[in-house]
Structure 1
Amino acid sequence: MTHAVISVDHGTAFKDIVEALRMWNVSALPVLDQGGQVVGVVSEADLLLKPQGTDTAHDSTTAEQLMTRPAVTVTKDATIPTAARLMARGHLKRLPVVDGYGRLVGVVSRGDLLKVFLRPDEDIGAEIRELLMYQLIPHGPGEVHVHVANGIAYLNGSLPDHAMEDIVVRAVGTVPGVVDVKADFTVPVSA
């Protein structure tokens, strides 16, 4: 996420919003109330659609009148997939990030979400091995080999229980940077 965020106050005038969008080269801005809480988002589309009439009509139009509300936001501890789902559902290019009180702490963009896929395969593999060893199969008789290539996690080996396969595949799929998971497991036969 980007921590240095440009926002506007709910009373910001139309022309000032246009100038802020142009100056910062963004297509939307969070709108804050007096307490710093995100109450809406004003976008280029909002500016083009809502005010009607002459140019003088824009002079008294404010962010509060133009903004889309309620604002779709994500908390600062949300996962990348959660933010991505919210953005996809709402066809949003960026999403305000808020703290537990609804105050703006940053903005996450589509580009920010895609950066995770630039993560080196070696780092992804190390995180998967740690996840398997310390959380998913800490004491079981299973042994899973991990290889990551182009973000695809290849898992093979044995699991202590057949029921764990789906859990392991889903958990590995949540590791940042994983594009897909290919698994080939066996389950040891009990004596």
Structure 2
Amino acid sequence: MNESPYFVSDVMSRPVVAVVRDAPFKEIAEALARWRVSAVPVLDSERRVVGVVSEADLLLKEEFRGLASKDSGRVRRPVDLAKAGASTAEDLMTSPAITVHEDMTLPQAARIMAVEKVKRLPVVDAEGRVCGVVSRSDLLKVFLRTDEDLAAEIRTGVLQRLAAVSGGDVHVRVRQGVVALSGTLNDPRLVPVAIRLIQAVPGVVRIESTLNGPRDASAGIFPGADD
């Protein structure tokens, strides 16, 4: 059972597949294919992330292959054209790299991925050195928690504490990540508090509540809050 928020360090992948600044084009392509990843961080001599090379960066060489020199002036993507002629990681990489810290929560990392429109992010420690990589699939690992694990955390981490304040008789059942709540809390003002706290439990997909509240206004279906 985990009664604390999930952090990037809980789900990130390691060891890290990475390359150095002078890594040649073919070596990068081989690393992406061998390890089945879509991008690799580029590291300096102290293992600090200085950039990222992705499949999209490598594919520019094919996209611009055969482009006549007389046509180059009409290209509106000079950066991409330069990458198409690059042969090392330093010239191919996107820099500065977008990174996350290992103590970030999963919702924080998910928001960065969404805003920056990336599928993978290098994870760095307090000194900026790479310590892992987190991907979209890694962020979904919280939804692999068992129903029993979720129910246990909800009972001990949320409901027991509320009952100590309010009293009442609340029942919880979890199936496929969907939490069903029933019963009563003596202080109806705590019903929406219970909903919010349970929504914040990593791995909860949805909440179906029939907890008693003022005019039964608390009854309903609530989406999970981990996205």
Write the distance in 1 (CA, Å) between the matches of 2:105 and 2:185: 27
What does 1:15-164 correspond to in 2, within 5 Å? 15-49=26-60, 61-133=87-159, 136=162, 138-159=164-185, 161-164=187-190
Write the distance in 2 (CA, Å) between the matches of 1:187 and 1:58: 63
| 1:38 CA displacement | 1.7
CA contact (8 A) 2:120 2:134 kept: yes
CA contact (8 A) 1:125 1:147 kept: yes
CA contact (8 A) 2:148 2:174 kept: yes
**Structure 1 residues 152, 65: CA separation in 2 closer, same or farther (over 3 Å shift)?**
same
SS at match of 2:128: coil
Instruction: Give structure 1 stretches of 5+ with no counterpart.
Output: none
Q: Which amino acid aligns with 1:20?
A: A
**Structure 1 residues 156, 8: CA separation in 2 closer, same or farther (over 3 Å shift)?**
same
Q: Which has the higher contact order (CA 8 A, sep 6+)?
A: 2
CA contact (8 A) 1:38 1:104 kept: yes
Greater fraction helix: 2
SS at match of 1:2: coil
Return the index of the structure with the highest Cα Rg: 2
Q: CA RMSD in A?
A: 2.7
User: In the alignment, is residue 2 of structure 1 matched against residue 28 of structure 2?
Assistant: no
Matched residues, number: 186
Q: For residues 27-55 of structure 1, give each alpha carbon's deviation from its aligned partner in whole angstroms, at most 9, with x where no partner exists.
A: 1101122221222211010112279568x
Identity among equivalent pairs (%):
51
Write the distance in 2 (CA, Å) between the matches of 1:16 and 1:59: 16
CA contact (8 A) 1:8 1:32 kept: yes
TM-score calculated relative to the size of structure 1: 0.81
Write the distance in 1 (CA, Å) between the matches of 2:107 and 2:99: 14
Write the distance in 1 (CA, Å) between the matches of 2:187 and 2:51: 49
Q: Which amino acid aligns with 1:15?
A: K
TM-score calculated relative to the size of structure 2: 0.70
Q: Which amino acid aligns with 1:4?
A: P
Q: Which amino acid aligns with 1:49?
A: L
Write the distance in 2 (CA, Å) between the matches of 1:71 and 1:167: 39
SS at match of 1:139: helix
Instruction: Give structure 2 stretches of 5+ with no counterpart.
Output: 1-11, 67-82, 215-227
